[in-house]
Chain A
Amino acid sequence: MNLTVNGTAQRYEESCRTLADLLARPEWAGKLVIVELNGELAGREAYGDTLLNEGDRVELVHFVGGG
């Protein structure tokens, strides 16, 4: 399945079916990640039930240092 994550288009394995699957990948693990799926805020409690579809645009953001 092809997804665009933070502006980068990439092919993900078929087992990556939900937002929870995507967030379990090592590059995002251990961070307080906030998700926007196709421009809509994705509820934290529904990550496991939110299915990903071909061509979805995903924004993964988190807090960083700032003033």
Chain B
Amino acid sequence: MQDPLMIGGVTLTSRLFIGTGKYSRNTLIPEVIARSGSQVITVALRRVDPQSKENIVSHIPSHMTLLPNTSGARTAEEAVRIARLARSAGLGNWVKIEVINDQKYLLPDNIETIRATEILAAEGFVVLPYMSPDLSAALRLKAAGAAAVMPLGAPIGSNRGLQTKELIRILISETDLPVIVDAGIGRPSEAAEAMEMGAAGVLLNTAIATAKDPLLMAEAFCEAVSAGRKAYLAGLGPVEETAAASSPLTGFLA
């Protein structure tokens, strides 16, 4: 079945976006990529640690679309600075805007996120903003040039699932941008549910990276996202208050 997701001029056949944080060893990452089928992968930007020999990019195959995040930014200006530095690495022009001022729940600052999106979209970045699922913010992000919106399902790394489901449902219904549920998804069933609702994709990191067997979990999420998408395209049957017999109610044996 051909059902690509187009973002920033790139045709994606996988709707599962993954992260590179929290792995017990980074050498797992190539196999996680292969088993998840993912084509987009996030990274963060930090000062180089002179003691460490680690180079995350060496674990990411070149066919992947790199999605650097702006984690650590507290203002639009800081996010813009990080995005420009990331782009100068020469590995593409995608950026996940992440502007956070709340250290307990790591909830995004939608206002600063909109400002950063305006600036970076005007500079030719493919901007995917991490946001709180608020409709007016989503519409402003679209007007600012975002390529998608990425509302949280639950706080980052919490594995608490689709706590913001009703708000995400509204974004899916009322914005004509791809809605990618980012953060909070802990179980494949939750990823499937987001996709059944009509999300364009899901982005997750912790749920795979902290599983006992990250490779098997990558596969589980791959199948869940694909199943949820197919269910959305198939159109879910109606929900009824009472039973509706599946077998004929006539011709019973005497």
A-side residues, CB < 8 A to B, are: 6-7, 27-28, 30-34, 36, 41, 43-44, 59-67
Which of B55, B66, B90, B205 touches A67 (beta carbons < 8 Å)?
B205
Which of B47, B55, B57, B206 touches A60 (beta carbons < 8 Å)?
B47
10 contacts between A and B (CB under 8 A): A27-B50, A32-B55, A32-B91, A34-B88, A60-B47, A60-B48, A61-B45, A63-B66, A65-B56, A67-B206
Cβ–Cβ contact B88 & A6, under 8 A? no
Q: Does B44 contact A (CB under 8 A)?
A: yes
| Most-contacted residue by chain B among A33, A44, A59, A63 (CB, 10 A) | A63
16 new A-B pairs (CB below 8 Å) besides A62-B89, A63-B43, A66-B42? A7-B47, A27-B48, A33-B48, A43-B88, A44-B90, A62-B45, A62-B57, A63-B44, A63-B56, A65-B43, A67-B22, A67-B42, A67-B69, A67-B183, A67-B203, A67-B204
- Determine the chain B residues whose CB is within 8 A of the CB of A32 once the complex forms: 55, 57, 89, 91
Chain A proximity of B85: nearest CB distance (Å): 5
Q: Does B63 contact A (CB under 8 A)?
A: no
Cβ–Cβ contact B44 & A41, under 8 A? no
A-B Cβ contacts below 8 A, count: 90
Cβ–Cβ contact B44 & A64, under 8 A? yes
A7 to B42 alpha-carbon distance, docked (Å) = 26
Cβ–Cβ contact B48 & A62, under 8 A? yes
Cβ–Cβ contact B206 & A64, under 8 A? no
Cβ–Cβ contact A61 & B56, under 8 A? no
| Most-contacted residue by chain B among A33, A36, A61, A65 (CB, 10 A) | A65
| Most-contacted residue by chain A among B22, B84, B85 (CB, 10 A) | B85
A36 to B57 alpha-carbon distance, docked (Å) = 20
